[in-house]
Structure 1
Amino acid sequence: MADVRWIYDLAIFLYAASVLFYFNDFVQSNRKVNRLAFGLLAVVWALQTVFFVSQMSEKSYFPVLTLFETLFFYSWILVTLSLLVNYFFRIDLLIFFTNVIGFVVLTLSMFLPETPQQTIPQRLTSELLFIHIVLALFSYGALSLSMIFSAMYMLQHKMLKQKRWTPLLQRLPSLERLEVYAYRMNMIGVPVLLLAIILGTIWGQLVLPGKMWNDAKVWTSLLVLVAYSYLLYKRFRTGWLARKLAVGNLIAFAVLLFNFLLTDASRFHRWL
């Protein structure tokens, strides 16, 4: 792993530069700086992909089990989604906010061991487990974008209410578009999260029957699913006001974040 560690370190360095350039564009609306930031972000994605592939070749399992691996993979998902959003929608502020989160997550992984602290029991590793984790992280990525759209909605709503006609306001999509984008991200994230929970439940019952229901993270995962499902229901059936949905979306993401951080205190989810 040491011979490819430089790829990981270089990715973090270039990621920091990309975020700083995006911040400069956020403040001054500089298109040249924006293009440079995007170019660096594309290089970061390539470096992360190479590092991840190298981990796959060196380890005996798909590298998404340890906290280091899940944080790295989550960051890679956010970078990937940023590139896709830039290609299809060109929402620069979303890319900036998304990669602030992605950079923080990747930086946190620096303080964690790259390899498991103990041997992974063979009976615990299976295709179901890996698919469960990958789907859960992809759902977190989609729901992260949804949260950012809702935060941008709240920001623009406040600026309009206060009649602050700044250049920033002109760079934000309309309130209607922001609400629709947040809703669509939830429509992607919630079914993927549901599938991840179903597969995780099946895996848990096969390898550790009965024990999984004693773990708090299992129940908070269900709470996350219920919270987002409730928002989708309210939006589709009762026509909640968009601002109320945006606030609910931010609260639901706070629950999701708590659920993710609970991994370190979870006995069932943290055997490494």
Structure 2
Amino acid sequence: MNELWMLRLQEIIVIVIAVSLVFYVIDFLKKNTRMNRIGTSLLITGWSVQTLLLLYLFINDNRFPILSLEEGFYFYAWLLLGVTIALKVIWKLDIPALLFSCLGFVFLVIHTFGAGRTTGGEVSEYLISELLIIHITFAILAYVAFSVSFVFSILYLVLYRMLKKKKWTAQFARLPSLAQAEAMMTYSIIAGIPLLFVSLLLGLEWGYIAIDGFNWLDSKIVTSFLLLVVYLFVFITRERPRIVGTTYAWIHVYAFLFVLINFFLGSSFSEFHLW
């Protein structure tokens, strides 16, 4: 099998596992069994393809692929993801499975894109470029999700004001209810949080591979992690009795300011981020 096609297949596995993680986090935050089933199906699919690759390497090289550090990472990730499937399917232990899948995903990324340090020429540049594209894509999707929460928070505040002043007109009849607007605020950040988390993991891996003397305290990295903490705080506070209605909506508005700070100010002082 062509080396480039092997790498392409491994990248597909990374994407499938990353998407399964997103569904698992949504299930963890919202307790949605449908999301859990989709995440498990994707995980099993990615792990099965990974198993076939291990068998191919075993048959092709006539040895078990575990003799180098890079191969060790791959085998270790395969074991961790296998344990995750067992925990999910057999023992129904969701939280330990989520932790194992996160750890397995990290080592799978290290193996797949870390090859860019050891391979040369077009393959190395290809790997680094693909990792950057995936990182940026997940980051943009997270920003879109947070933008949706901002729009619905503004809509909630407008609707609340119109209802309070009894200025409801026929033009507002097609707008969502307050409950629907509040639900969309929550659902959008539930999607955005895992997307941003995966993007940060991939971005750190890209920086480590592509940049000599990579600065872990770069302004963009710091503000991105702060943004993740802010939205985690928003999600946690939604369960408190005092954080309801307009208070909850205003928290979403203020949280979106951190998105703008991260997007513009964080990039302005960054050593390597262009956006």
- What TM-score does the superposition give when structure 1 sets the normalisation length? 0.51
Give distance in 2, aligned partners of 1:140 and 1:157.
Answer: 26
Q: Given residue 271 of structure 2, which amino acid in structure 1 is its aligned partner? A: R
Matched, 1:267 2:271: yes
Point out where structure 1 has 5 or more consecutive residues left out of the alignment: 1-120
Matching residue of 1:167: 170
Distance of 2:213 and 2:138 partners within structure 1 = 23
Q: Match of 1:189?
A: 192
Maintained 8 Å contact 2:131/2:206 = yes
Please identify the structure whose Cα radius of gyration is greater: 2
Query: Which is further off, 232-241 or 181-190?
Result: 232-241
Cα pair 2:146 2:189 within 8 Å, conserved: yes
Amino acid at match of 2:141: F
Deviation at 1:128, TM superposition (A): 1.8
Partners of 2:244 and 2:151 lie apart in 1 by 18
2:256 is matched with 253
Asked if 2 retains the 8 angstrom alpha-carbon contact of 1:123 and 1:207, the reply is no
Shift of residue 172, structure 1, vs aligned partner: 1.8
What is the CA-CA distance between 1:168 and the residue it aligns to?
A: 3.4
- Name the TM-score, length of structure 2 as normaliser: 0.50
Gaps in structure 2 of 5+ consecutive residues: 1-123
- Name the residue aligned to 1:130: 133
Between stretches 132-141 and 215-224, larger displacement belongs to 215-224
Letter in 2 for 1:251: Y
Conserved? CA contact 2:128–2:210, under 8 Å: no
Q: 1:200 to 1:179 in 2, by over 3 A?
A: same
Corresponding position of 2:233: 230
- Pair 1:180 & 2:187 matched: no
Alpha-carbon distance change, 168 to 227 in structure 1, aligned in 2, over 3 angstroms: farther
CA distance in 2: counterparts of 1:123 and 1:138, whole angstroms = 23
2:147 to 127, 144, 148: 144
**What SS does the corresponding residue of 1:269 show, helix, strand or coil?**
coil
Summarize the alignment of residues 29-48 of structure 1 with structure 2, pairs less than 5 Å apart. none
CA distance in 2, matches of 1:155, 1:244: 13
Structure 2 CA distance for partners of 1:122 and 1:261, relative to 1, 3 Å: same
**Rounded Cα–Cα distance in structure 2 between residues aligned with 1:257 and 1:127:** 26
Aligned residues: 151
Pairwise CA distance, 1:122? 4.4
1:215 aligns with 2:218: yes
Q: Would you say the 8 A contact 1:211–1:268 is kept in 2? A: no
In structure 2, C-alpha distance between the alignment counterparts of 1:239 and 1:192, rounded to whole Å: 28
* Whole-angstrom distance in 2 between the partners of 1:133 and 1:249: 23
8 A Cα contact 1:212 1:218, kept in partner:
no
Instruction: State the alpha-carbon separation in 1 of the partners of residues 156 and 163 from structure 2.
Output: 11
Return the letter of the residue paired with 1:132.
Answer: H
Q: CA deviation at 1:214?
A: 3.6
Calculate percent identity across the aligned residue pairs. 38
- Could you tell me which of 198, 203, 207 is aligned with 2:206? 203
Change (3 A) 1:123 1:171: closer
Deviation at 1:181, TM superposition (A): 1.0
